[in-house]
Amino acid sequence: MKTLSTFILSSINYFLRPASIIRDYQIGNLRLDLIAGLTVAVIMLPQAMAYALIAGLPPQMGLYAAIVGSIVGALWGSSNQLQTGPSNAISLLVLSILLPLVSPETPAYWVAAGVLALMVGIIQSTMGLARLGMLVNFVSDSVIVGFTAGAGVLIFFNQIRNLMRVSIPASPAFMDTVHNLALQIDEAHWISIALGLGVVAIILVLRKVNPKLPGSLIAIVSAALIVGLFDLELMGVIVIGELPKGFPPFANLPVMDLEYVSQLLTGALAIAAIGIVEAVSIARSIAGQTGQRLDSNQEFIGQGLANIASGLFSGYNTSGSFVRSAVNHQSGGKSPISNVFAGLFILAALLIFGSSAAYVPLAALAGVVLVAAVGLVDREEIVRIWKGAPGDRAIMVVTLVATLTLPLEYAVLLGIVLSLGYYLVKTSMPTVRVLLPDDEFRFLITQPEKLECPQLTVIEIMGDLYFGAVNHVEDFILRHLDANPGQRYLLLRMQNVDQFDISGVHALERIRSAYRKHNGDIFISRIRDPVLEIMRTSGFYDTLGADHFLTREDNAIGYLFSRVLDPAICIYECPLRAFQECQNLPKRLDLVGEYLHLDKSTHKVSVIKPRELWDALQDDNPPAIIDVREPREFQQGHIQGARLISLPQLLTDPSQVPSAVPVVLTCRTGRRSSRVAGKLIEMGYDNLKVLEGGLLAWEADNLLEAID
């Protein structure tokens, strides 16, 4: 109940965002926000009209979307600088979705655009309320780059028809558009072409001279003046006509017509996805410069409400604009109020200068769009992705080709599905690597050119161990065991495992069984607390054993070296010094013979506990103690009264073992002495015992101090 109330309260807070903006507003930012808002409005005014043409809509719908989207997106969004309004790629999507359903340039088409904006807004707002802001993390940048590049190509060729003033239908189908343009090239209107190319030239020149100048607005005003002064409308130049004055009117939309709405659903999902990814990506890129902390869920709400308001007030779909957001930031905009001012300035321009649009040539707006379309093809980013990961390259290329060949809503959804699929593939195939110490024994790193320890392998899992990844991880580890059957012990490093489930538990159980069939075992180090908790609750922790979880990574290999690995192999059979612990170990490879390859004996070897041996040594007839270690080890500490007979000497000349008294064999951990005892029993010696746990157990009982 408490969780539900918290959820409802936080949901209400999303809609109270304007109150917090106004409450926290610093009056010292007012001048900077006004300047930034005016600068953005100067750029957005011609863009809004031009982008409406891309969508097949009248210019005023672009202005209405700019006014409402800018104000609502700012007040309910998360970013201080993100500028919301019409955008070129979203406008092309609107055209692609509506053309098969409604005839363009008709009131029914305009109504459909409003319904589409309303649906997109509802989808985005619902996603925000459902706390799905993190979903934008799963859409690759390659999808956006590929889609926008393809959209740029489509927009460019679509607007050539307005530049040439030829009567071919707007179409998002690339080949159809190119074919129709080729058929109509003889009908081109050269005055319109000259006006449009003149606009392009002015914009490009002003960018070189002073990028801060509003090149698009200056070019549009210049073209309108030329049309008015020379009466070019009489010579066949098409103008957009006088814009209706007044506030954005409320639109009566058929939102209850479910059949009508269902036809737009797929397209609405595509626009909602691309629009929110585009907006959040822009907001994050600017937040990286300003240091602002963003709330993706709040941004979903802001973009959703902007689309809802735009649809209800005779506009169409809106999204974030990178160019206008960057201009807002560079112009000194400090808060969302700068974008509120931008919307109000557009409204003022519509109210005051709406009649002046009567002289704006359609070809001039086409020129503005052509420049924007070329800017959508981010060549530098395309090259970076092409040189990067193969998966990103494939996603970008497929999305771009799909944008040029498929209906755009399906191209977008295909790109998103590919992006999610790529993510699933990567997470289901985490990097699993074998590690060895570097030359200074400071770090464990991948060194495939180095020989591994014949007893111990160290493997690190660089990703989650959940149901989708367990087969990949398990196969790697078991293949490595099959290729190195002598490596009976596994140290599994899991510090990079964040997600772990019952499938991961089962995989570790199978790995443990495989190693124990080889008379070995597995040990786990650097495990995160949430993962460890799942191991405890599932019973795996108790099954494996608490002593198999090594919490101190620096001592993990040292622990295994002293308590688990077989010193006989280290000293007599292994030429390597793979770990730091091996460096001072005596190597007696010169003594290697058939008798030194000691397998576990089938004979039962009797053992004596450290305290029992201590008591026996106090008797009048104590047992003989034979230490089978190497001289260097013996000198570092031994049981008082013990006699040193190293393993190879003992097996070479068993007669050194006294037969008149009981004999206790000892070594560091009991493994060497147990194996020697087994061999001696096979030779006929029977009055033998082995110190259980060796010198380590003796020392653990504080008996070294007691004897010495």
- The sign of the dihedral angle between the CA atoms of 455, 458, 464, 469 is negative
Mean pLDDT of the chain: 87
Pick from 251-265, 389-403, 593-607, 669-683: least confident: 593-607
- Dihedral Cα 509, 515, 517, 518, nearest 10 deg: 180
Query: What would the mean pLDDT of 536-540 be, rounded to a whole number?
Result: 94
Of the spans 176-180, 326-330, 491-495, 699-703, which averages the highest pLDDT? 491-495
* Whole-number pLDDT of residue 599: 55
Query: What would the mean pLDDT of 336-349 be, rounded to a whole number?
Result: 95
| DSSP letter for each residue of 144-176 | HHHHHHHHHHHHHHHHHHHHHT------S-HHH
* Whole-number pLDDT of residue 598: 54
Please determine, for residue 597, whether its predicted confidence score (pLDDT) is greater than 80: no
Binned at pLDDT 50, 70 and 90, residue 15 comes out as very high
Q: Give the whole-angstrom CA distance, residue 97 versus residue 412.
A: 12
| Equal fold, 431-565 vs 594-707 | no
Query: Exposed/middle/buried for 545, CB within 10 Å: 0-12, 13-18, 19+?
Result: exposed
Question: How many Å is the Cα radius of gyration of the chain?
Answer: 38
What ranges do the domains of the chain cover? 2-381, 431-565, 594-707
Pick from 59-63, 123-127, 637-641, 703-707: least confident: 703-707
The residue among 473, 459, 544, 546 whose CA lies nearest residue 504 is 473
Percent of the chain with pLDDT over 90: 41
* Whole-number pLDDT of residue 257: 83
3-state secondary structure of 457: strand
* Whole-number pLDDT of residue 707: 39
Q: Give the whole-angstrom CA distance, residue 463 versus residue 345.
A: 51
Scanning the structure block, which residue is given the tokens 């006989």? 568
56 and 99 Cβ atoms separated by less than 8 Å: yes
197 and 211 Cβ atoms separated by less than 8 Å: no
Q: Give the whole-angstrom CA distance, residue 72 versus residue 698.
A: 77
Name the DSSP letter for residue 654. G
* CATH level 3 topology of 594-707: Oxidized Rhodanese; domain 1 (3.40.250)
* Reduced DSSP (H G I as helix, E B as strand, rest coil) percent helix, strand, coil of the chain, to 5: 65, 10, 30
* Whole-number pLDDT of residue 594: 46
3-state secondary structure of 331: coil
Query: What would the mean pLDDT of 609-623 be, rounded to a whole number?
Result: 89
Read off the pLDDT of residues 131-188 as tens digits, 9 standing for 90 and up. Answer: 887 777 777 888 888 888 888 888 898 889 889 988 887 777 788 888 888 888 888 9
Please determine, for residue 603, whether its predicted confidence score (pLDDT) is greater than 70: no
Higher pLDDT, 569 or 629: 629
Percent of the chain with pLDDT over 70: 96
Q: Give the whole-angstrom CA distance, residue 676 versus residue 666.
A: 10
Angle at 336 between CA 331 and CA 341, to 5 degrees: 70
* Whole-number pLDDT of residue 708: 37
Read off the pLDDT of residues 441-485 as tens digits, 9 standing for 90 and up. Answer: 888 888 888 888 888 999 999 999 999 999 999 999 999 999 988
* Whole-number pLDDT of residue 591: 58
Buried b (16+ CB within 10 A) or exposed e, 110-119: bbbbbbbbbb
Please determine, for residue 595, whether its predicted confidence score (pLDDT) is greater than 50: no
Query: What would the mean pLDDT of 291-302 be, rounded to a whole number?
Result: 90
* Whole-number pLDDT of residue 501: 93
Read off the pLDDT of residues 233-271 as tens digits, 9 standing for 90 and up. Answer: 889 998 888 888 889 999 989 888 888 889 999 999 989
Pick from 21-30, 543-552, 575-584, 592-601: least confident: 592-601
The matching CATH number, chosen from 3.40.50.740, 3.20.20.70, 3.30.750.24, 1.20.1730.10, for 431-565 is 3.30.750.24
* Whole-number pLDDT of residue 310: 97
Size of the chain, expressed as the number of residues it contains? 708
* Whole-number pLDDT of residue 80: 94
Binned at pLDDT 50, 70 and 90, residue 642 comes out as very high
Tokens of 540: 């795996």
* Whole-number pLDDT of residue 164: 92
Evaluate if pTM is beyond 0.85. no
Q: Give the whole-angstrom CA distance, residue 77 versus residue 298.
A: 6
